[in-house]
Structure 1
C-alpha cells in the first residue's frame, strides 16, 4: 500500500471513530442505551405521503429499521435523529393501511433496544366543537382528538397530566390514547372485518400530576348518526332511535339483541355501567370489560356511606356502582341529595348524553302506549325482547333491558320470581318522583302468564341508586 493510500485509510478510520464517539463512549458503564419516539403514532392523510419524525437515542452506536407494514418504507438517520416514513401508494398490491414500524438500536457489546411506531393511513376528526361528557365516534380508521383540559361541555378547567382508558367493551376498541402538547386527548379507532366499524363503548379518564382521576368521558363507538336517525314524537320532542350506548338494534339475532341493551346509569351520575353478558340476562354476569392494556377489569359494588355516597367519590371511582342503603333513602348519594343533577328541562353538567342531546324531562313519555298485539304478546315479545310504543304519530321500539338493582347492583329483569329474562323496560327521565329521594322513569313490562295484563307507565318512581337505561332527547 502506498503512503498516500495508507494516509487516506487512516483519515477514514479516524472519521468513523469520531462519528461513533458522538453517540457512545467506551467506558465500562456503557452496557445500556435507550431509543424512543416522542409519540407512539404517526398518521397519514393519504396514500404515498411521506413524513419525518424525530426520535431520541442515548448511547446508541448504530440503528436499523427491522420491520415495517407491507408497502411502507422507513429510513432512520442516527446523525440527524430523524426517520423518514412513506406510506404505500394507492395501487400497491397487498399493502397494509396500518401497522407498526420497529426501530432497533445497538449499544456496546451487541445489546439492543427498540422503539415501536404505529403508522396508519387514517382520516382525522377533532371533537373540540362537540365538547361533552359523551362523544359519538362513527368513523373507522380515524384519528380522533378532543380537549382534555375542560370538563364536560367546557365548563371548568382540568389540570390534566395524562389520559388512560379506564374500561372498554372490546380489546383495542380505543388504541394509542395519548395526551399531546396542546392538552388534547388523541386516539385511534380502527376497523374490523371488511373495514367496518367495531361498535362498543369505552370510558377514558383524565389524571392529574399525582395520578388522581379528575374527570372521565364516555366514548360511544357506533355507526349510528342521531342527526339523521331520530324520531319526533307527538309532543314535539325529538328522540334517538336507540338507547345511549347501544349498537345494532334491529334485533334479528341474539347478538344484536345483546348489543341493543346500551348502558345503565344511576340517576344524576355521568358514569355509565355496562350491560349483561348474555342477551337473556340469565347468568347475572356483567359484559366483558378491558383496560387500556387489554386486561380484564371488573365493576365493584359499594354501599353508600358518608365516604362513598358523594359526587367526589363517584367521579374518582367510575367503576364503582354505589348501592343504596336505608340510611341514604336508597339514593347513591348518602346525604347531599340533589334534584338538580339532571333536573329540569335544561341540560346539566352531569348529563351523560352527547352534545346536542340530554336526558328527557319527566313528562317526555306521556301519551305512549304499547302498539303490539297483546293477545300474541308473549311470543312477539320474546322474538325481540321489547315493545313497540306509540303515541299515535310515531312508533318506536324500546328494549326490555331491565335495571341494575339499587340494593345489589346486578342486572335484574324479572316481573315475578322466575329466572331473570328481559321482561321489563326501565328508562330514566330528568324528573323527580312523587316520593322523597326518588326520580321518575318510564316503565313497561310483559306479563309472562297473561300478556293482556302487560302494562306501560310513562312515569313511575324509581329509587335513585337503580341503574336504568336512557333514551336521549334533542336539546332544543
Structure 2
C-alpha cells in the first residue's frame, strides 16, 4: 500500500543547478548496498553524503548503518550514555530524547473544544485535537518507510526516535488520532523524526 501523501521540494544551488532531488518526489534516497560500506559500516558514506536517506528493506537487521547484526552500533543511538552521543543530530547542548523523558505522557483521551466550547467528552478528534495542560507540541510529520524510502502519513501520524535500542531495533514514540503509544520498537533504517531536548 502506498501511503505517500507529501511532496518533497527539490533543492537548487545559487547557480540554478539541482543540488538535491534525484527522484520524482524530490528526495535524495538510496537503497542500502554493499558499495556504501567501508569495512562493515556506512559511516564514511553518510559523512560524505549527509542529505541522502539510506533505506533498507532488503534483509535483517534492516539498518542504515550495516547489513550484519553483529556490527550494529548502539552508541550511534547514545543508548545508555549519560549525555549526547557523537552522532546525535541535535545542536550543541541538546540531545535526542530518551524513553524516560516520555514516561509522564498520558495515553488517555480527554475533552475536545471548538472555539473554546467543549464539544465532546472522552472522544478523539483528529481535526480539532484535544485540550491539554502542560502542553508539549509534536508535529504529525509522518515518516520515511524503511522498505522504499517513501515519505508517508504526513499530517496524520507522528513518530519520534528515542536514544534507546533493543536487539536489532530502536525504540520510539508514536501517535495519531487513536492515541499515543510509548516504547514501540522498529527497524533502525526507518526515517523517523527526532525530538531534541536540552541536556
Q: TM-score, normalised by structure 2?
A: 0.75
| Candidates 161, 165, 169, aligned match of 1:438 | 169
Query: What is the alpha-carbon distance in structure 1 between the residues aligned to residue 162 and residue 192 of structure 2?
Result: 10
- CA deviation profile, 1:170-189 (whole Å, cap 9, x unmatched): xxxxxxxxxxxxxxxxxxxx
Task: State the partner residue of 1:323.
Answer: 55
Question: Do the aligned residues in 2 keep the contact of 1:307 with 1:313 (CA within 8 Å)?
Answer: no
1:348 aligns with 2:94: no
Task: State the partner residue of 2:72.
Answer: 337
Task: State the partner residue of 1:302.
Answer: 30
- CA deviation profile, 1:313-339 (whole Å, cap 9, x unmatched): 111122321111343411112233111
Question: Do the aligned residues in 1 keep the contact of 2:171 with 2:184 (CA within 8 Å)?
Answer: yes
Q: Could you tell me how far 1:412 is from its partner in structure 2?
A: 0.9
RMSD between aligned residues: 2.3
Query: What is the alpha-carbon distance in structure 2 between the residues aligned to residue 357 and residue 372 of structure 1?
Result: 31
Task: State the partner residue of 1:469.
Answer: 193
Query: What is the alpha-carbon distance in structure 2 between the residues aligned to residue 409 and residue 324 of structure 1?
Result: 8
Q: Which runs of 5+ in 1 are unaligned?
A: 1-280, 382-386, 414-420, 447-453
Runs of 4+, deviation exceeding 4 Å: 387-390
Query: What is the alpha-carbon distance in structure 1 between the residues aligned to residue 61 and residue 131 of structure 2?
Result: 34
Task: State the partner residue of 2:184.
Answer: 460
Query: What is the alpha-carbon distance in structure 2 between the residues aligned to residue 407 and residue 389 of structure 1?
Result: 36
Q: Which runs of 5+ in 2 are unaligned?
A: 22-26, 112-121
1:289 aligns with 2:19: no
Q: Could you tell me how far 1:432 is from its partner in structure 2?
A: 0.8
Larger RCO of the pair (alpha carbons < 8 Å, separation 6+): 2
Query: Any residues of structure 2 matched to 1:411-430 within 5 Å, and which?
Result: 411-413=151-153, 422-430=155-163
Q: Looking at CA atoms only, which structure, 1 or 2, has the larger radius of gyration?
A: 1
Task: State the partner residue of 1:192.
Answer: none
Task: State the partner residue of 1:268.
Answer: none
Query: What is the alpha-carbon distance in structure 2 between the residues aligned to residue 293 and residue 358 of structure 1?
Result: 35
Q: Could you tell me how far 1:292 is from its partner in structure 2?
A: 4.5
Query: What is the alpha-carbon distance in structure 2 between the residues aligned to residue 467 and residue 388 of structure 1?
Result: 29
Q: Could you tell me how far 1:379 is from its partner in structure 2?
A: 2.8
Task: State the partner residue of 2:115.
Answer: none
Query: What is the alpha-carbon distance in structure 1 between the residues aligned to residue 132 and residue 36 of structure 2?
Result: 38
Question: Do the aligned residues in 2 keep the contact of 1:323 with 1:409 (CA within 8 Å)?
Answer: yes
Question: Do the aligned residues in 1 keep the contact of 2:172 with 2:186 (CA within 8 Å)?
Answer: yes
Question: Do the aligned residues in 2 keep the contact of 1:443 with 1:457 (CA within 8 Å)?
Answer: yes
Query: Any residues of structure 2 matched to 1:66-145 within 5 Å, and which?
Result: none
